[in-house]
Structure 1
Amino acid sequence: MTGPIGLRLTNTARVLSRAFDDALAEAGGSLPIWQVLLTVKSRTQGNQRQIAASIGIQGATLTHHLNAMERSGLVVRRRDPENRRVHVVELTEEGERLFHRLREVVVDWDRRLRTGLEEEDVAAFERVLARLEQNIQLNRSDHGA
């Protein structure tokens, strides 16, 4: 037996996360910036509520990130003409440039992670991850969480 799978997974995730953050930072980004750029880019435009839901963060956290990204010239926010209470987020030219730089980092990162793995290894890994998520969801619903 190799020990608790949760501990191994948590430690591995921490190492990978730090290395990924470092790779994004070298290109002038961060994980939150990448997530926002990717979400806005994939939807052409999106309102703040949709972006927060897509990324899985609270609206206030997204607002904090968008404020910094707007100050850096990466995004602009404007009111939706059909619903003035909604802010639509769009990438600026600088946001587009950063998106493309970070996309190269992400593609390279994925390539590095897949080194030495066959497609069936990756497929099996994805099934295991999905099962782990299901187990957690089932456990939460069994315990009323």
Structure 2
Amino acid sequence: MQLTNTARAVSRAFDAALAAAGGSLPTWQVLLALKTRSTANQRELAAAVGIQGATLTHHLNGMEADGLLTRRRDPANRRVHLVELTDEGEAAFRRLRDVAVAHDRRLRAGLDDRELEVVRGVLARMLANVTEGTTAGDHS
């Protein structure tokens, strides 16, 4: 329960920080995914961001209306839309990146390198515990 409560509080704090800077978590995720590749199609973005296609389309529509990105048909495959950041999208990325960095600093405040390594190890083990093929109670 403590992990769930902590995750919720951390998530709410990050959402609030992004909102104060004019962003949201889905916007940040899309901007970050586009920043790591110069152009992406919507299927690649959905996979990178972990958002279903229809939900991603909704977010992309809003971001395009806000001038953060453009979409165009792929000349090699007219069924595919290529997504690219605009100059305004680049500026939004930098603004939200600063928010993400500040949020990360806030989370790590008062923790030394050894403690952070322990936290990373514990979180990695917990993730593995819930994502591995079998669970501790599954003996079939």
Residue number in structure 1 paired with 2:67: 73
Structure 1 residue 141: Cα displacement? 3.5
Once the two structures are superposed, the pairs formed by residues 83-122 of structure 1 within 5 Å of their partners are: 83-122=77-116
Matched, 1:22 2:16: yes
Q: Quick one: distance in 2 between partners of 1:128 and 1:81?
A: 47
- Specify the SS of the correspondent of 1:141: coil
- Match of 1:3? none
Question: For residue 134 of structure 2, what is the aligned residue in structure 1?
Answer: 141
Residue from 127, 138, 141 that aligns with 2:121: 127
5+ residue gaps, structure 1, are 1-6
Is 1:82 equivalent to 2:76 in the alignment? yes
SS in 2 for 1:86: strand
Partner SS, residue 73 of structure 2: strand
Percent same amino acid among aligned pairs? 61
Match of 1:33 in 2: 27
Normalising by structure 2, report the TM-score: 0.92
Greater helix fraction, Structure 1 or Structure 2:
1
- TM-score normalised according to structure 1 size: 0.89
Consecutive aligned runs of 4 or more in structure 1 exceeding 6 Å deviation: none
Q: Distance in 1 between matches of 2:51 and 2:92?
A: 22
Q: Where does structure 2 lack aligned partners over 5 or more consecutive residues?
A: none
Equivalent of residue 48 in structure 2, options 54, 57, 60: 54
